[in-house]
Structure 1
């Protein structure tokens, strides 16, 4: 036999072996890759789902969480002898019959599987499943994800949730309950021209009872996990008065949703183009064993939760850039921010074995078209090595997790769940002068304003167009809001007051002139049953330890204040037709009637916005966050508020009115002040009943 013939036979043999391996869905461990003899790999079974990324016309970080976008044909599996080079696969649900609920007596077949979690004793799996009826934009029990649990041997398949809402991303809590993401609270996204519900953190008992909303944040949240201290770490889309694609960062809260705080990069600041070169989204978070660090996927905004893998170190001083973040997959760039597109989504769903070794899914050929993705299960290390453990050539894998017992983290005592209407809790601020950026010289803070932001109750961003920013793009939605009132701030900067639970709110520090000096551009809330929320200062440095006070803050020596409602008609919710236009009609239009700029008459309603002409004409005279900084627009709004440089203080209108122009009474000037200090100077106060609002009537928020 000639050398050429021998070479041909070798090539044919290699091709045949490769074909057999692909046909049997088994992969080879290639030498020179990850060292699988390390102690981190001292287990032999991996649980995973087969879940194909959604590929459709709408490709957004939210879309893959809808049951009607689920690709049928997946399942829940165990990879046996995972590191042997010759693994086998077990279908956990092959013989499983559901015990209860709508699926009682049935198998879970023909639908789509999504996220899951293995119990701490490695005996049960909780997971999300949908029938995946492909009726895009239709919400019913057949088009949404529901949560189930099953023993690892396939017995005791139990349905935990049902209905016409999506429930997904379940994780076991140390006390045996389950935290998950759900659309149950209600509300819609603010930057869409289609129906996109808001989903948030919820908990339930292991049998599906006692479902409880533990987050009243007004926008979406994702992928909770439990860290080594028993806290919930998750992803939050935080864009109250910010750009729509503001980085979606890691947050932390207790298993009852108390005292939610950002972990890192909530105020990105990397120069004029501050939104570039940082991860757009920190998703699929998991706590690294024996460490304070977390691993996550750096996902894009306009695609799903795939991208480079990163490690977040909360023990590092956050420089509002990349100080806390290390990319552990150097062959992939951050989608959108580094690439300019949603490509480079090679990785996803990391599971940490240590600070050096991880399981994940990987597709070397992945691009932004989900239909072409075939993610396999890989072991990787922080040196850039990777070893494929398993791949199905016809369907993507998702969420690999070791099937072995884990150490149960601390079980943090929960708050009492009220059986009736929850009582108010107490919010206390130790020293409002404790700030990251100094207040203007001579500033004396006299009171704290409490604003409520209202979740959106209409699906389309342009229904209605709430404020000036909404005209910049058909996707530029802002919150409606209402001024609940104010409470006093003591001489030492402390404040303490009662707050009703279940309301997303933000606070403003107000000076002796009645103008806001600093404002939150986020929200906080009390969960029903929570009796206290403590704040050290007003945007104080995140890692700064509170100074030991010489004495108890003054506000904590007395009974907490009750919020004094604002007396202005049209302040709650804030409505330009009710709050401002009556003053214009009474004091201004005698001069500003078309002969003098600006024209402050109502005029004809704008056909697009339904706004009065007066409102449109006042835009050049108010200060808006999305035009205050270089490069800012509705999508990229610099997120940090500089004290004294926003709202009424930064507006031409207030500077004119405070000189006595218009001969306004103190209450009338106050109405203009709070309208400008609100952050967006809104026109509409709620998303519904716009005709009644145009008539100047009081309209109560639809979702309060």
Structure 2
């Protein structure tokens, strides 16, 4: 509609009643970018019933339209930045909290260089609609902050500056009105509705750094009118009309056009090139030794089309939302660089792999290369303002690598095709569904890992689960319980490196420790690791899900094929160079030999057991030995250099022995101390004859007296060394609606998510401040101190012992991981008497120690030498 005209003109062709175009923005060269439902994507959480939108580029001169973004969900509100780039809001579901995952992206007008503007890995704000740049600034924007299950698009008016910060309240310049007030980055599902926030705003139009036109509703009883607002908290009504809502204000004046950015695409190309300067650059792999990353796993998303959706219990037990297809792997050079080819117009992500094919970090997003584009990044989750080093890399000196197929052609990862064969080869000889020869000890399990036996009674109390879900084999259900993973909706923030490494899962640890002589070949291990790294899916295509096509009534029978065919028809129209894979095809793959492999015989120890005179001994003897050790101290530990004595000087660091208790108090800083107890020396039989293979043979070991911290290192203590450290949260099962997880970061909780190297550095820091020689204990020191004279598996008894008063272990409290995703309080959110499909983490439910997650140090009874939490709470390094 031109100025002065009354009759609108249709610009884009009619692409059918099932396709809608909207949200246009003119480019300086006359072309138009707009949002469209032509990608034929469906909203996952509503089983694909709502059409999602991607961005398209239309050229009025030729009539050609090309798809620019290839999202799981929607892109909204494209607008031009003063530098000629396009700003828009992107929504993601990929194994993260979708209630808080709308972020700002920007790209060149031809779709190249798509990258975060603000909000990746951020909880606040949950959405930011109608973002518009402040005139003259390429980093400052004004927009509407809101929630998810909330007032539709209306919300709080915020000014953000990406140059000042890109996460949560970082870079939040001001809320209008709210001059001089800090904006609290509160995480809520209904950010506006839950707080009854007024005034409410829509569709801002900035006039400058201080003034903005905006549609506003000052109170619940007000009309939607057009207002002039400013950074001084003035909210001035310009016009309102009874019986109408006035929206979309815009300054009607001549404006300078941004520069036109030339196209960098080759529309005929079906591939893109990816260049990574150094995978170790950035925080994504912080602390991972250089050379650990051997290859990158390249994975494609197969997003659900209309009428499809990976609700809880659909594709897997707890996610993922969408099907993942391993395209293959590419090499990483010794200097961390990589150069490889990917299919264009395809949402992909990469995972850095160690030498055993295990992901060291998980990317829960995607990137897309335009036809012929050279996509580049400096490292792993590097800051968007980082600058690449100027030195040439090894990868730059060679031709781009082609993706090496992963045990066959690209295909959707399915448990029955990729993992069950491994179980058939290595596991079902014992785990055959028959009663074990010996009854498992209380709290232990003997799962059935045979294929083909389906669950018949799956159900869930999780709101929003698929009523027809749980179409899994028993083997899948049992095995996934031993794989810790992000689940369908994990933390919005980037994970700590190796947080979900396969070697940290119970399954990975069991195999590494030598489970009854089971030794996996390289391919078998890779298959299990890849399954865990992809969030433990069961299905690899949508079409093979039993009953899927009539689960919610959105698809009936042949409509699944019809929806896929229509999506392909539109893709060929708007993505002429392709590629056009058949995502539902199950290709032939090289044969994997499922012939059962006998477990390696575990050699019997040369002697029946190690004997040690005077050991074991009871608690009374342990206490007496400790008192003797204290009496023989004579003086304080000899420092390696002279330090201030805190009892005399009040200095910042030092140590002192309490003559009454014999404890060593180490002062690290004002208000920050570490208490150690004296562990007497002695001899004991270290190891186990009935544990895992790496716990034997049992050997007599002599240990000299030493000091050991009474409690596990707390968050408060560790932050004296590293103020930036966060022990973060643990996520619930299922969805996370405005819930950031269960807090593990309170000051007196034990510090977690620290590497062995960081732990040793913490000891060196204490040593430097006090003159003491401080380090992690050796394995022998740790076991001697933990046992305190006991020869039983626990210092307080056998594996069957009630641990409730002594240790924070896997017990009935783990059922709290199954809870209502809308309720903040963990105790109130927990399902009452959850069934085994909601409460599936392995546990000894006979006991209840009252602890959920980690607990403050000292809550449970100490062993005879005064040490708390030697069993349970946090895993400990030696």
Question: How high is the TM-score relative to the length of structure 1?
Answer: 0.69
- Comparing 335-344 with 639-648, greater Cα deviation is found at 335-344
The answer for the alignment partner of 1:648 in structure 2 is 502
Select which of 317, 327, 331 maps to 2:175. 327
The answer for the alignment partner of 1:154 in structure 2 is 6
Please state whether the residue corresponding to 1:518 is helix, strand or coil: coil
Please state whether the residue corresponding to 1:218 is helix, strand or coil: coil
> Does 1:177 pair with 2:24?
no
The answer for the alignment partner of 1:28 in structure 2 is none
Alpha-carbon spacing, 1:703–1:336, altered in 2? closer, same or farther (3 Å): farther
Alignment map for 1:61-460 (pairs within 5 Å): 149-154=1-6, 157-162=9-14, 163=16, 164-193=18-47, 195-206=49-60, 209-268=63-122, 275=123, 278-292=124-138, 293-302=140-149, 303-330=151-178, 336=189, 338=191, 341=194, 343-344=196-197, 346-366=200-220, 374-418=223-267, 420=268, 422-437=269-284, 438-441=286-289, 444-457=292-305, 458-460=307-309
Alpha-carbon spacing, 1:666–1:415, altered in 2? closer, same or farther (3 Å): same
Query: CA shift at 1:415, angstroms?
Result: 2.9
Please state whether the residue corresponding to 2:204 is helix, strand or coil: strand
Identify the structure with the greater strand proportion.
Answer: 1
Please state whether the residue corresponding to 1:644 is helix, strand or coil: coil
Alpha-carbon spacing, 1:652–1:450, altered in 2? closer, same or farther (3 Å): same
Q: Write the distance in 2 (CA, Å) between the matches of 1:319 and 1:604.
A: 44
Q: Write the distance in 2 (CA, Å) between the matches of 1:159 and 1:425.
A: 31
Select which of 329, 336, 339 maps to 1:496. 339
8 Å CA contact retained: 2:116, 2:384: no
Structure 2 unaligned residues grouped into runs of 5+: 437-445, 458-468, 549-580, 587-878
The answer for the alignment partner of 1:564 in structure 2 is 404
> Does 1:533 pair with 2:375?
yes
Select which of 443, 454, 459 maps to 1:604. 454
Query: CA shift at 1:657, angstroms?
Result: 2.2
Alpha-carbon spacing, 1:442–1:202, altered in 2? closer, same or farther (3 Å): closer
Alpha-carbon spacing, 1:568–1:703, altered in 2? closer, same or farther (3 Å): closer
Query: CA shift at 1:579, angstroms?
Result: 0.6
Deviation string, structure 1 residues 28-52 (Cα, Å, up to 9, x no partner):
xxxxxxxxxxxxxxxxxxxxxxxxx
8 Å CA contact retained: 2:214, 2:227: yes
Deviation string, structure 1 residues 377-414 (Cα, Å, up to 9, x no partner):
11110111011111121121221001111100010001
Query: CA shift at 1:600, angstroms?
Result: 0.9
8 Å CA contact retained: 1:439, 1:517: no
Please state whether the residue corresponding to 1:486 is helix, strand or coil: strand
Alpha-carbon spacing, 1:317–1:416, altered in 2? closer, same or farther (3 Å): closer
Query: CA shift at 1:318, angstroms?
Result: 3.4
The answer for the alignment partner of 1:665 in structure 2 is 521
Q: Write the distance in 2 (CA, Å) between the matches of 1:491 and 1:416.
A: 31
8 Å CA contact retained: 1:300, 1:342: no
Select which of 600, 617, 621 maps to 2:478. 617
Q: Higher Cα Rg: structure 1 or 2?
A: 2
- Comparing 392-401 with 588-597, greater Cα deviation is found at 588-597
Computed over aligned residues only, the root mean square deviation of the Cα atoms, in angstroms, reads 2.7
Structure 1 unaligned residues grouped into runs of 5+: 1-148, 269-274, 367-371, 471-476, 627-633, 694-698
8 Å CA contact retained: 2:471, 2:546: no
8 Å CA contact retained: 2:415, 2:539: yes
Alpha-carbon spacing, 1:316–1:297, altered in 2? closer, same or farther (3 Å): same
Please state whether the residue corresponding to 2:60 is helix, strand or coil: coil
Please state whether the residue corresponding to 2:99 is helix, strand or coil: coil
Alpha-carbon spacing, 1:687–1:191, altered in 2? closer, same or farther (3 Å): same
The answer for the alignment partner of 2:583 in structure 1 is 701
Select which of 562, 587, 607 maps to 2:426. 587
Query: CA shift at 1:431, angstroms?
Result: 0.7
Alpha-carbon spacing, 1:606–1:226, altered in 2? closer, same or farther (3 Å): farther
Alpha-carbon spacing, 1:461–1:196, altered in 2? closer, same or farther (3 Å): farther
Alpha-carbon spacing, 1:463–1:338, altered in 2? closer, same or farther (3 Å): closer
Deviation string, structure 1 residues 267-326 (Cα, Å, up to 9, x no partner):
12xxxxxx4xx3210110111112231111112212421111111212114354433453
Alpha-carbon spacing, 1:320–1:297, altered in 2? closer, same or farther (3 Å): closer
The answer for the alignment partner of 1:116 in structure 2 is none
8 Å CA contact retained: 2:432, 2:449: yes
> Does 1:689 pair with 2:544?
yes
Alpha-carbon spacing, 1:441–1:207, altered in 2? closer, same or farther (3 Å): closer
Q: Write the distance in 1 (CA, Å) between the matches of 2:474 and 2:178.
A: 54
Q: Write the distance in 2 (CA, Å) between the matches of 1:609 and 1:203.
A: 41
Query: CA shift at 1:185, angstroms?
Result: 1.3
> Does 1:508 pair with 2:329?
no
8 Å CA contact retained: 2:164, 2:170: no
Q: Write the distance in 2 (CA, Å) between the matches of 1:604 and 1:388.
A: 64
The answer for the alignment partner of 1:522 in structure 2 is 365
Alpha-carbon spacing, 1:686–1:246, altered in 2? closer, same or farther (3 Å): farther
8 Å CA contact retained: 1:621, 1:653: yes
Q: Write the distance in 2 (CA, Å) between the matches of 1:665 and 1:565.
A: 19
Please state whether the residue corresponding to 1:245 is helix, strand or coil: helix
8 Å CA contact retained: 2:317, 2:470: no
Please state whether the residue corresponding to 2:283 is helix, strand or coil: coil
Q: Write the distance in 1 (CA, Å) between the matches of 2:191 and 2:144.
A: 15
Q: Write the distance in 1 (CA, Å) between the matches of 2:48 and 2:340.
A: 39
Deviation string, structure 1 residues 517-538 (Cα, Å, up to 9, x no partner):
123111001123x331111111
Q: Write the distance in 2 (CA, Å) between the matches of 1:157 and 1:183.
A: 21
Query: CA shift at 1:619, angstroms?
Result: 2.4
- Comparing 434-443 with 609-618, greater Cα deviation is found at 434-443
Q: Write the distance in 2 (CA, Å) between the matches of 1:577 and 1:393.
A: 62
Q: Write the distance in 2 (CA, Å) between the matches of 1:645 and 1:241.
A: 15
Please state whether the residue corresponding to 1:398 is helix, strand or coil: coil
Query: CA shift at 1:543, angstroms?
Result: 2.5
Q: Write the distance in 2 (CA, Å) between the matches of 1:460 and 1:446.
A: 34
8 Å CA contact retained: 1:486, 1:564: yes
Alpha-carbon spacing, 1:505–1:304, altered in 2? closer, same or farther (3 Å): same
